[in-house]
Chains A and B, each alone.
Chain A
Amino acid sequence: MDFSFSRDQLLFQDNVRSFLINEVTPERIRELWQSDNGRSDQLWAQLVELGLTALTVPEAQDGMGMNELDFVLIAQECGYAGLPEPLVETMLVGVPLLAALDEQHASFKQKWLSRVAEGRARLAVSEPGNPLVSDAHVADLLLLAHGDEVHALERDAVRLTRNESVDPSRQLFQVEWTPTPATCVASGEQGRRLWAAAFNRGALASAAQLLGLAKRMVDLAVDYTFERKQFGKPVGSFQAVKHLMANVAVQIEFAKGPLYRAAYAIAEQQPEQDVFVSHAKLATAEAAMLAAKNTIQAHGAMGYTWEVDLHLFMKRAWVLDKVWGDRGLHKGRIRAALFDGTPALGAGSTFLTRQ
């Protein structure tokens, strides 16, 4: 029993954090908002150069072969930085979905996965139940759902209509396309399985980013409450303001365990992963939503402006709360397992699995 990350995993997290703090500054995010497509080839190239686009690509396709547990801390840092580029979704959803296609698609997989690892291609994946696809405009290959089927189309085979989001970092598109036997790469039971796995990975991806975002919002608010003085004192010295922040800190602290257990459960293909993932998404979303509410309050009127950086992170949190299953969906999965299933309950049951 060892519920901790390895030295290497933590060191890698530190390295990625340093890179993101230096390179993905709020100023740079605001620049991206002004650009034509909201994305930066230069920033993506930097991510490629660091090897980040190869992390979860299998070694057979020129990648690093890392799993969800290796990547979860990186995803958290991407959330903390508010990284607009779809690195986390690509590594945790798109790449594993491609990699799980069966052997009749071996050369297709080889081609696209090695391109992603080398930074020569980007992926977009449709989220089951969401009519819009994020980052479809910069994707070279789109993985789209048609019922239970998985279809793969190159960008010139689809028509995109942009839909603006409250989060200017988000790039959302309606995708018009025609499913054909030639575009279908998985169907039936296999398709169902792939989409179910993609859904859990998408939920994990958003959960990890939500935890990072919650932490970032608190850090920004704490800084602000030092600077802002009223009644002759920093507003952060008032207990009412302290308690707003402490309540978020408690939620963040107790969302970590569920998040890391979910990553472990997916990496180990545990049969309970649905419930563990839903717990992770719920706990991190609640931490991030409380962070959004309490940190805008701590910023006072400044928090309601476009100028202060808080909204870069707050708006991402609002959006990630709803993607890959909103809280209602995840509560429903947990409720069903708890009340209609036969879960292991009580002391000593937490790490029992039905392997």
Chain B
Amino acid sequence: MDLTYTPAQQAFRAEARTWLAANVPSEPLQSFDTEAGFAQHRAWEARLNEGRWGMVTWPTELGGRGCDLIEWLIFEEEYYRCGAPARVNQNGIFLLGPTLMEYGTPEQKARFLPRMATGEDIWAQAWSEPGAGSDMAAIRSKAERVGDHYVINGQKTWSTRAVWADWAFGIFRTDAQSQRHHGLTFILLPLDTPGITVRPIPQLNGLPGFAEIFFDDVKVPVENALGGEGMGWHVAMSTAGFERGLLLRSPARFQETAKRLVQLYLANREQADRDPAIGEAVMRAWLDAEAYTLSTYMTASQLVQGGKIGPESSTNKIFWSELDQRMHDTAMSILGLRGELLPHAPAAGDVGHWLEGFLFAQAGPIYAGTNEIQRNIIAERMLGMPRA
């Protein structure tokens, strides 16, 4: 155990800090759930890629830096520290990218990864269906093999980024006779294919952060299947594993929120302390963000040494999502009457971002497997309790 950064790690941090300071837009971008904001964020992805900061964990031949997970954590710390834009590309970077590297053919990797890295292709998820949410194996959307194509019919929903994205990835039933998690195939498809209808769904903030996707005899070439026909569940579970586990949620975001919460509390201490629970909640936010960071560094250290991520990673999603909710609840309590104001309201001052975060935090315990499902997974796979 050595809880100090090596000179090389310190140099890497300094390099990232310098580049970000020179390149992060001085004005915040519009939300990537607006058309203009989406384009701004796409341009930011291209800029990151030019500096080779877009996909730091990817191999150098794919435009990455071949960073290990400790360096990735350092990069994330610097990224959030300077308030850089949210990543419109995160479905690609964190979910599909690693899955393509694991299951893709050389042709698929060459075709998709470089365009993903530049932001030329922004990816949407197409997992859930109206009848398949927590119970994802209940998927009914069909992909029927006709010659060298699949013909897709059905409906996906809660497809994050689908309104303005270029491509989507998801799992479809290729064996019509199959049940549950058998007979599914992981398919990559362009969202401008004839027969696809995307219906935006406004989220709590009124912006269409996700969408329904309707498939009506949509023809997709068979070479767009990833990881082999019938292997969709297996491939998707590895993707979902990335989503639930270490990679989607670096601790840096929560540490920055905790920092802002401490500052908000100290700036409003007299009023906040009318409820003694608030000071305690602020302290806890900081402790829990620290605990999450420590845990992530422990996991990263194990993985760097060739260890495997275990079922205990299911605890991550519960921990960060509920921490994020508690932090924003606390901020709203401190803000009191100011809390309800939208960021652009004249009287909102500089606190409107707390409301945005508060709304976003409501989704954490729901998406990527509800926290109830995560608790079942912990009980059954980590503790070995009997299945229902």
Tell me which residues across on chain A come within 8 A of B77, comparing CB atoms: 347-348
Interface membership of B109, Cβ < 8 A: no
Pairwise interchain contact A255-B3, C-beta atoms closer than 8 A: no
A347 and B298 contact, CB distance less than 8 A = no
- Chain B residues positioned under 8 Å from A345 (CB to CB): 255, 258-259, 262-263, 286
Q: Are B301 and A348 in contact (CB under 8 A)?
A: no
| Cβ-neighbour of B256 out of A249, A279, A347 (below 8 A) | A347
Given A4-B301, A347-B76, the answer on whether A253 and B295 have CB atoms closer than 8 Å is yes
Cβ contact of A257, chosen from B78, B295, B376, cutoff 8 A? B295
Q: Is B292 an interface residue (CB 8 A)?
A: yes
The answer, yes or no, to whether B379 is at the interface (CB within 8 Å) is: yes
Q: How far is the CA of A257 from the CA of B289 in the complex (A)?
A: 11
Residue in B259, B298, B300 whose beta carbon sits within 8 Å of that of A256 in the complex: B298
**Bound-complex Cα distance A338 to B294 (A):** 18
- The answer to whether B2 and A250 touch across the interface, beta carbons within 8 angstroms, is no
- Set of chain B residues within 8 Å of A351, measured between Cβ atoms: 3-5, 297
Verify if A302 is at the interface (C-beta below 8 Å from B).
no
Question: Which residues from A are CB-within-8-Å of B291?
Answer: 254-255, 257-258, 279, 283
Closest chain-A Cβ to B21's Cβ sits at a distance in Å of: 14
What is the bound-complex CA distance between A247 and B374, given in angstroms?
10
**Best-surrounded residue of A241, A254, A261 (most CB of chain B within 10 A):** A254
Known: A258-B291, A264-B3, A350-B293. A3 touches B383 (CB 8 A): no
How far does the Cβ of A65 sit from chain B's closest Cβ, in whole Å?
Answer: 17
A350-B290 contact in complex given A226-B386, A253-B295, C-beta closer than 8 Å: yes
Query: Would A335 and B259 be within 8 Å (CB), given that A1-B3, A4-B302, A258-B291 are in contact?
Result: no
A334 nearest CB neighbor, chain B only: B283
Judged by a CB distance under 8 angstroms, whether A13 is at the interface is no
Which residue of chain B has the shortest Cβ distance to A278 in the bound complex? B287
Asked if A218 is at the interface of the complex by the 8 Å CB criterion, the answer is yes
Instruction: Give the contact stretch, choosing among B98-106, B158-166, B312-320.
Output: B312-320
A254 neighbours in B (Cβ, 8 Å): 288, 291-292, 295, 315, 319
Q: A237-B386, A239-B388, A250-B318 in contact; A348/B74 too (CB < 8 A)?
A: yes
- List the A side residues contacting B293 at CB < 8 Å: 257, 350
Nearest-neighbour CB distance to chain B for A239, whole angstroms, equals: 6
Given contacts A237-B385, A237-B387, A350-B293, contact A246 B252 (CB under 8 A): no
On whether the beta carbons of B252 and A4 are closer than 8 Å, the reply is no
From known contacts A226-B386, A250-B319, A255-B291, infer whether A1 and B4 are also in contact, taking CB-CB under 8 Å: yes
Q: Which of B76, B255, B283, B376 contacts A338 (CB 8 A)?
A: B283
Q: Does A159 contact B (CB under 8 A)?
A: no
The distance in angstroms between the C-alpha atoms of A338 and B262, with both chains bound, is 8
Distance in angstroms between the alpha carbons of A261 and B287 in the assembled complex: 13
Q: Which of A246, A249, A283, A349 gathers the greatest number of chain B CB atoms within 10 Å? A: A246
Most B CB atoms within 10 A — which of A222, A264, A339, A345? A345
With CB as the reference atom, state the residue of chain A lying closest to B280.
Answer: A331
A-facing mask of B235-260, CB < 8 A → 1, else 0?
00000000000000001110110110
Residue total for B at the interface (Cβ-Cβ under 8 A) = 65
Evaluate contact between B378 and A261: CB separation under 8 angstroms: no
- Decide: A69 and B1 in contact? CB cutoff 8 A: yes
Q: For the complex, would chain A's binding face be called helix, strand, loop or mixed by DSSP majority?
A: helix
Asked if A347 and B385 make an inter-chain contact with CB atoms under 8 angstroms apart, the answer reads no
Q: Render A206-246 as a binary contact track against B, CB cut-off 8 A, 1 for contact.
A: 00000000000010001001100000011011110111011
Which listed residue, A236, A261, A346, touches B294 by the CB 8 Å rule?
A: A261
Q: Which residue of A lies closest to B382 (CB)?
A: A249
In angstroms, Cα B254 to Cα A345, docked, is: 11
Using CB atoms, name the residue of chain B closest to A283. Answer: B291
Chain B 291-338 interface residues, beta-carbon cutoff 8 Å to A: 291-295, 297-298, 300-302, 304-305, 312, 315, 318-319
Cα–Cα distance between A69 and B41 once the two chains are bound (Å): 45
CB distance from A208 to the nearest CB of B (A): 15
Are A249 and B315 in contact, with the CB atoms below 8 A? yes
* Chain B contact surface mostly: helix
Query: From residue A95, how far is it (CB to closest CB) to chain B in Å?
Result: 21
Bound-state CA distance A1–B305 (Å) is 12
B70 part of interface (Cβ distance < 8 Å):
yes
Say whether A243 contacts B315, CB under 8 Å.
no
| B266 surroundings in chain A (CB, below 8 A) | 339
Report the bound CA distance from A254 to B253 in whole Å.
17
A1–B70 touching, CB < 8 Å: yes
Using CB atoms, name the residue of chain A closest to B81.
A347
Pairwise interchain contact B315-A3, C-beta atoms closer than 8 A: no
CA distance A243 to B298 in the complex (A): 25
Partner of B3, one of A3, A6, A226, A282: A3
Which residues of chain A are near B76, meaning CB under 8 Å?
A: 347
- In the complex, what residues of A have CB within 8 A of residue B70's CB? 1
Are the CB atoms of A249 and B383 closer together than 8 Å? yes
Asked if B380 is an interface residue, CB under 8 A from chain A, the answer is: yes
Set A233, A242, A255, A339: member contacting B375, Cβ < 8 A: A242
Given contacts A1-B297, A250-B318, contact A334 B312 (CB under 8 A): no
Most buried by B among A242, A260, A264: A242
B64 at the interface (CB under 8 A from A): no
Q: Does A108 contact B (CB under 8 A)?
A: no
Asked if B372 lies at the interface with its beta carbon under 8 angstroms from chain A, I say yes
Quick one: which of B258, B300, B379 has the most chain A CB within 10 A?
A: B379
Q: Which of A6, A245, A256, A261 contacts B383 (CB 8 A)?
A: A245
A254 to chain B: closest residue by CB: B291
Contact of A3 among B6, B283, B297, B382 (CB under 8 A): B297
Contact check: which of A237, A247, A260 meets B298 at CB < 8 Å?
A260
Q: Are the CB atoms of B383 and A347 closer together than 8 Å?
A: no
A264 touches B1 (CB 8 A): yes
Identity of the chain B residue whose Cβ is nearest the Cβ of A226 in the assembled complex: B386
List the interface of chain A (C-beta within 8 A of B): 1-6, 69, 218, 222, 225-226, 233-234, 236-239, 241-243, 245-247, 249-250, 253-258, 260-261, 264, 268, 279, 282-283, 331, 334-335, 338-339, 345-351
Given A246-B374, A282-B287, A349-B255, 10 other A-B contacts at CB below 8 A?
A1-B70, A3-B298, A245-B378, A246-B383, A257-B298, A261-B294, A331-B283, A345-B259, A347-B253, A351-B3
Q: Can you list 5 pairs linking A and B with CB atoms under 8 Å apart? A: A242-B375, A246-B375, A339-B266, A347-B77, A347-B259
The 9 closest A-B pairs by CB, nearest first: A257-B294, A242-B379, A347-B252, A348-B77, A346-B259, A246-B375, A345-B259, A246-B378, A347-B77
